[in-house]
Amino acid sequence: MIEQIAFIGVGNMGCPMAENLKKSGKKIKVFDISKKTIELAKEKNLDVIENLNDLITKEVTTVITMLPEGKNSKEVFLGENGIINKVSKNCLLIDCSTIDIQTSIEIGKKATESGIKMIDAPVSGGVMGAQKATLNIMVGGTKDAFELALPLLKIMGKNIFHAGDLGSGNGAKICNNMSLGIAMIAASESLMLAKRLNIDIKKVHEIMKNASGNSWPISVYPPLPGLIEGTPSNNNYRPGFSAGMMNKDLKLASECAESVSADTPLGKMALEIYRKFCEEGNDTKDFSAISKVIGGDAWDYPID
């Protein structure tokens, strides 16, 4: 059977992931509900199908989704026009969206009841990781489904992990992003303190990159401009990974923690800081723009 991939949700992450699949020689068609996103996908020479019904034919062998939230995944898979009732039995479903564990399990169970294999496979590494195909991909699902998906996941990512049963991919991702949200605030605080102490920020950044205070926000994705080329902080905080998405992930972490009576005070504090930032109208900025809130008037650059 000829491999035919249907990719749904080609925003900041989905578009470069789909491009990498295309570049590797895969037959791939894409769909998105946003007209603006569709135009961008067309500019990247992706084969856009403008109607979901025309995308999901019996010939499709894999569906990959990269959607914002659990409600979007639920609508696409199980909604009125849900794709679970449309794909053939041997089609593999890969949901790369970061969503709540329960929704992931619910969709997977419905797929299994229909005899269809499904994995949750959220990713980390940001837009740059998606572009360079160096994503970390964390998979939840059966070993069979994991192995079936592995060749495609290796085209989009560098480190592919089988975290456990269905939903474990999202569980791992939620834990990862709770750390990331806290670390971005921590990096911003350290750089702000350096600035207040009148120490050259570039020097402090270089020192931290090599010393024990290093973190992903310091070494790869610094929250201030002028430190590493190609980051959202050098592009007026255009996402990247939006503050709204980080707020969503910290909320997921907080709900997960409550569900198992885990105490996560720093995770909750980070959620509070991002929630307020988003409420003030910053949800579409990159999440590293949180440095402006942390820095206050220490900074002399605009973020609007």
Footprint of ligand NAD on this chain (CB under 6 A)? 8-9, 11-14, 31-34, 37, 66-68, 72, 75-76, 97-98, 123-124, 126-127, 240-241, 245
Identity of the residue, 95 or 194, whose beta carbon is nearer to ligand NAD in the bound complex: 95
CB of 248 to ligand NAD, least distance (A): 6
* Cα-trace Rg, the chain: 20
Identity of the residue, 66 or 194, whose beta carbon is nearer to ligand NAD in the bound complex: 66
DSSP secondary structure of 245-292: HHHHHHHHHHHHHHHTT---HHHHHHHHHHHHHIIIIITTSBGGGHHH
Does residue 168 contact residue 140 with C-beta atoms inside 8 Å? yes
CB of 298 to ligand NAD, least distance (A): 26
Please say whether the dihedral angle defined by the alpha carbons of residues 204, 208, 209 and 214, taken in this order, is positive or negative: negative
> Per this entry, what is the length of the chain?
304
Q: Which of 22, 74, 173, 285 is catalytic?
A: 173
173 noted as active-site residue: yes
- CA separation for the pair 141, 20 (Å, rounded): 24
CB of 203 to ligand NAD, least distance (A): 28
- Helix, strand or coil, per DSSP, at residue 242: strand
- Helix, strand or coil, per DSSP, at residue 219: helix
Identity of the residue, 34 or 85, whose beta carbon is nearer to ligand NAD in the bound complex: 34
Identity of the residue, 100 or 116, whose beta carbon is nearer to ligand NAD in the bound complex: 100
CB of 13 to ligand NAD, least distance (A): 3
Identity of the residue, 213 or 230, whose beta carbon is nearer to ligand NAD in the bound complex: 230
CB of 237 to ligand NAD, least distance (A): 13
First to last CA, the chain: 51
CB of 142 to ligand NAD, least distance (A): 23
Identity of the residue, 82 or 298, whose beta carbon is nearer to ligand NAD in the bound complex: 82
- CA separation for the pair 304, 302 (Å, rounded): 6
Give the relative orientation of helices 168-196 and 243-259 as an angle to the nearest 10 degrees.
120
Residue number, nearest CB to ligand NAD: 11
Of 193, 152, 215, 184, nearest to 285 by C-alpha is: 184
- CA separation for the pair 274, 289 (Å, rounded): 10
Catalytic residue positions, numbered: 173
